Structures are given as structure tokens and as C-alpha cells.
Amino acid sequence: MTDNIQTTIDGPNFEYTFDADLGTLSSLEADGREFLARGPLLNVWRAPISNEMVDWGTAEVEEWYELGLDRLEHAVESFEISDIADGVTRVEIETLVSAPDADAGFETTYLYHVFGTGDVLLGVRAEPNDALREGITNWLPRVGVRLEVPDAFAELSWHGNGPVETYPDRNNGTEIGTYAGAVSEQYVPYVRPQEYGNKTDVRWATLSAGDGAGLAAFGRPTVNVSAHDVANLDRALFGYQLEERDGVLFNVDHAVTGVGGTPVQPSPEHRVVPDGPFEFVVGFRPRTADDPSPMELSRRRLPYAFASTAPVGGFEAEHDADDGTITASAVVRNAGAQPERIDVPLTVNDEVVASRTVDLDPGEKTSVSFEYDVPETGVFEVRVGDEPPLLFTAPRLSLEGEWRFREGDDPAWAEPEYDDGDWERVEVPATWEAHSEYTENDVFGWYRTTFDVPESWAGYALELPLGAIDDVDETFLNGEKIGQTGTFPEDGFETAWSEPRRYTVDPSTVAFGDENVIAIRVYDGGGGGGLHDGPLGPITVVPTGD
């Protein structure tokens, strides 16, 4: 039955209810038993770990609180339900996920497929908006869904890395296997209460009661999971302050940021960066004691494992600057109820240069790939189907290698006409202690180099990755200031030694088809100094928006 707020989907021995006002499942009832206390919703928050609260250069948690990642709300924009095939019901919910009165957020689509078997596939597509991307200078704690199950389901089983907690950068010494333990036993008593208990590379996980019944979650292909029974994990300062919560929180995550070390941040490959839409699919099923094992259930291949109903998605592309080849791939889906033949074009600079044709049964998906050779110089706008395009440039312009360096401080050193011929030649990235034995503290130094920008890049803004600079920088291109990170002593010193610099330069500042001069003024308040960590380049282009 359907009314303005709730929709119930019935099947053999189950009754599932969706709440259009909340934008999620509100009930998973099977064999007369309730398996859900609160439905799955997008979650990017975790109780901060010590490494995220200590100011080693930036305390990541400060901007997470400022953006309200710990108090996200879900404003439902649309709710649609349809029977798309025999025994398959689709529920599509579009929401804006943000903190109250905040601009930063995620345009999020929840795509449910409910099967007559009692299985539920949930596809999530979360697009960070511009305010969110601009507000996050480091990374997100996690991206996934969080739900809640009744207190009775307090036994966690999983097939993945174990038996101890693991994170993307902390799973050496563990093995893939099947493990089990009480939710309360997953708690790790750190000196200060914080995030704990994550499991990586999980194929399936269940939260069960003593009689074997429980809620099973499945990765498509794998996920991170964790289960908490603590109410105030991100507010308690000491273990004795922790309070038991009503219900068990169940995190099923597409991606989780690593934990790093002391005082080392997670490496780039272990960070969840909001640089594009997140798409993932997870499965849920209330499981009774008489059902097949979670391992057997996980081996099934269910149709409609999508995060979107668009025919083409998941577009990725790379440019090999050495051989001039662009490789592209995409996922092709048939979200309908009939077999379909789908044409997928590869477009470069608005010209179709290749095409693939695929035949798909209802609910099926496949991947297509392309290779295309591009000229030695130029800007190439590449797209597959109607996906947003990606920009690539040739040739590859790196900023690593030899620069000119000088100790001291003089504003004239920013001018492109300045003669730096007698400056020291140094290799970066490296600290200036390493390349020049410049060991004093509370000092300034300057770096300069030149690079040519092809005429064929004209009209595009440049993006200059300059790596991490210790402690504060002021960067100039052709005499124009293009960016600063950190605060110099005259304005109240604030270090930014660990923040990667990436500055965007307006086309009016760039000498296309000619030489460009980049000059970087650096202040070191103590410890290492200079252009100490990459990547420096490669230089790329971005649209101007005109």
C-alpha cells in the first residue's frame, strides 16, 4: 500500500517499509521480526582519531566540524517507486545531504532494488558540491552508509581481514577469513576514546541475535564494516565516560581513510578525497536461522547492482604522455525490463573517434574500454557517452628537478625579469637543509624556475601542483601572486608545512607559447624548510567557466 509518507513492499514472509519523508528504509520485517531500527543513510563521519585532532600542521577535524560532517541532515527532493520486472521493485530517492543551514553538502541518490527473495540492493551516488570540495583541504573520514539495528543483534560476524581491527594502511599481519565476536568485544581502549573496530576487504558481514537470525550486509565487491554500541564516542575524553547506546550502529563503507602514524598523515592512496562523485552498491538481507549461510548468499549474482539508472557511468580515462595514448573505460547498464542494444561513443574534442555496441539483458551491466592516440601537443576533452568530460594535456610539464635557490628575502625576486643566474642550483623536492645545508630557523628563502606553455593551451587556466612546502609560502607566476598557504610571522605565524599546494592560474597571467617564470617565497619557523615533498606538477589545465 502507498500513502504520502510510507510505502510498503510485501513478499513471501517479509514486509519492507520505505519512509518518503526520511528518504530511507524505515522497517525490514521478516518472519514477523523487525531487523532494522534506523535505515541506511549516507555517512562521511567517524569519531576523530588522535592523528586528526593534533595540530601537526593542520588538525583535520577542525574543518570537518566547521562543515558539519558530524551532523548531516537529509532533505528529500524526490521519491519514486516502480515495479520494473517480475519480483523486482525499484525505489529511487534524491536528497541533499548537508549540515543545517550549510552550503557544503552532497547531492545524493539512493537507488534501491527489492527482490522477491527478500534481498535489497542499495546503490548510492553521492556528488560533493563545490562548497564541500572547496571546504575540504585534506580528506573525508569515510564514505558509506550508516544504519542501526535493534539491541538483540549484538554478535558481529564477517568474512574479510581479521580478527583484529584493520584500516587501509593498517592490515599487514592479518588474514582474509571468517571471524566472529560480540559487538562489545570490537572496542579498542585507546588512551582517548576514538574511532575503532574497522574491518577491511569485507565480502559479507552479519549482526545476529543468539538464535542465529540477523541482518546480513554484502559488499559489491567488498566493503569496510564496523559496529559500535557506544553513544558518545566523539565526545568522551576518557574511557569511563563512555555510555552504552540503545541499538547497534552498523557502518557499511565504500571507502575509509587510513590512520597514518605519529605524526605522519595517511599516504595519498589511503585518503578519501572528495574530487568526484562516489558510487557504490551494497546488499542487505534479513537472515533467519533457516536461511543459507552468508557465504552462500554472497556468491549469488543479483541483477540491478547499480548506483544509477543512466546507461553509461563510471567513466575513467588516463593519458600516457610518453606514447601519446588515451585509454578510457566506462560501465554500461541496462536498467530497464527488456533486453537492450546500447551504443557507446568515445568523443575527443567533440568528435566521435570510436564506438562500442553492447547487448545487455535486463538488470545487467558490463564495461567497455577504448584506446586513442592523440597529437604530441594540445588540450584534449575526452568523454564516453554523456558523461562529464575529462581534460588532458600534452606534453607533460613537470616541475620536479632543478630549480634556482637563494637564502634571504627580497620582493624583487618575484619579478620575471630578475637575473637569478648566480643562484644555487638545487634538486626538488627536498628540504633546504638537505639541498643547501640551510639549517637556521626563523628564516626566508626563495625558489625560481621557468617552463614553456604550448600555444595550443591558450584560453585555459593552469593548475600548478607544488607539493608540500615548509612552513609558509607565497607563490608568484610572471610577477603576479597566485597563492599563499600558511601565515607569515608579521601576520601571526601559522604553519602549513604538511599541506600540498595546488594553485589555479587565470589565463591572463600565463604566457602561452612562451616562457613563464615561477617564484616561491618560503618562510621556515623551525625544523625542515623548503619545497620538501611532491608532487611538483605535472601542470594541467582547467576550464575557466566562461
Q: What is the pLDDT of residue 2?
A: 44
Task: Give the H/E segment covering residue 378.
Answer: strand 378-384
pLDDT score of 50 more than 90? no
pLDDT digits (tens, 9 = 90+) for 80-118: 999 999 999 999 999 999 999 999 999 999 999 999 999
The amino acid sitting at 151 is D
Task: Give the H/E segment covering residue 435.
Answer: helix 432-436
**Assigned domain for 184 exists:** yes
pTM (2 d.p.): 0.87
pLDDT digits (tens, 9 = 90+) for 161-179: 999 999 999 999 999 999 9
- For residue 260, CA distances in Å to 49, 117, 173 come to 10, 42, 17
Q: Do both 430 and 340 map to the same domain?
A: no
Q: What is the pLDDT of residue 262?
A: 66
The residues with which 437 forms a beta bridge, in sequence order, are none
Residues of the domain holding 331: 321-393
Contact 304, 119 (CB under 8 A): no
Give the domain-ending residue among 334, 358, 393. Answer: 393
Q: Do both 289 and 329 map to the same domain?
A: no
Q: What are 482's three cell numbers?
A: 597566485
Q: Return the half-sphere exposure (C-beta side, CA atoms, 13 A cut-off) of residue 449.
A: 19
Contact 332, 368 (CB under 8 A): yes
pLDDT digits (tens, 9 = 90+) for 239-264: 989 888 889 999 999 999 999 876 67
Average per-residue pLDDT for the chain: 94
Q: What is the pLDDT of residue 145?
A: 98
Give the domain-ending residue among 372, 393, 414. Answer: 393
Q: What is the pLDDT of residue 499?
A: 86
Total number of domains constituting the chain: 3
Looking at residue 492, which CATH number applies to its domain?
Answer: 2.60.120.260
**Assigned domain for 313 exists:** no
CA separation for the pair 448, 419 (Å, rounded): 10
Count of beta carbons in the 10 Å neighbourhood of residue 357? 10
**Assigned domain for 304 exists:** no
Q: Do both 249 and 165 map to the same domain?
A: yes
**Assigned domain for 310 exists:** no
The confidence band for 325, taking pLDDT boundaries of 50, 70 and 90, is very high
Q: Do both 245 and 190 map to the same domain?
A: yes
**Assigned domain for 508 exists:** yes
pLDDT score of 1 more than 50? no
Q: Do both 412 and 361 map to the same domain?
A: no
Q: What is the pLDDT of residue 266?
A: 85
CA separation for the pair 429, 534 (Å, rounded): 6
CA triplet 497, 502, 504: central angle to 5 degrees? 145
Q: What are phi and psi of 268, to 5 degrees?
A: -55, -35
pLDDT digits (tens, 9 = 90+) for 60-79: 888 999 999 999 999 999 99
The residues with which 42 forms a beta bridge, in sequence order, are 145
pLDDT score of 538 more than 90? yes
pLDDT digits (tens, 9 = 90+) for 375-433: 999 999 999 999 999 999 999 999 999 999 999 999 999 999 999 999 999 999 999 99
**Span 363-370, mean pLDDT?**
98
Q: What are 248's three cell numbers?
A: 547497534
Contact 207, 196 (CB under 8 A): no
Share of the chain above pLDDT 90, in %: 84
pLDDT digits (tens, 9 = 90+) for 470-503: 999 999 999 999 999 999 999 999 999 988 899 9
CA separation for the pair 46, 233 (Å, rounded): 9
pLDDT score of 287 more than 80? yes
Looking at residue 377, which CATH number applies to its domain?
Answer: 2.60.40.10
Q: Do both 42 and 127 map to the same domain?
A: yes
Q: What is the pLDDT of residue 498?
A: 83
Q: What are 101's three cell numbers?
A: 543551514
Contact 500, 473 (CB under 8 A): no
DSSP label at 62? H
Q: Do both 494 and 372 map to the same domain?
A: no
The more confident residue out of 356 and 221 is 356
Q: What would the DSSP string read from start to end of 193-245?
A: ------EEEEEEEEEE-TTS-EEEEEEEEEEEEEEEEES-TTT-SSGGG--EE
Q: Do both 346 and 445 map to the same domain?
A: no
Q: Do both 252 and 272 map to the same domain?
A: yes
Q: Do both 408 and 514 map to the same domain?
A: yes
Q: Do both 75 and 49 map to the same domain?
A: yes
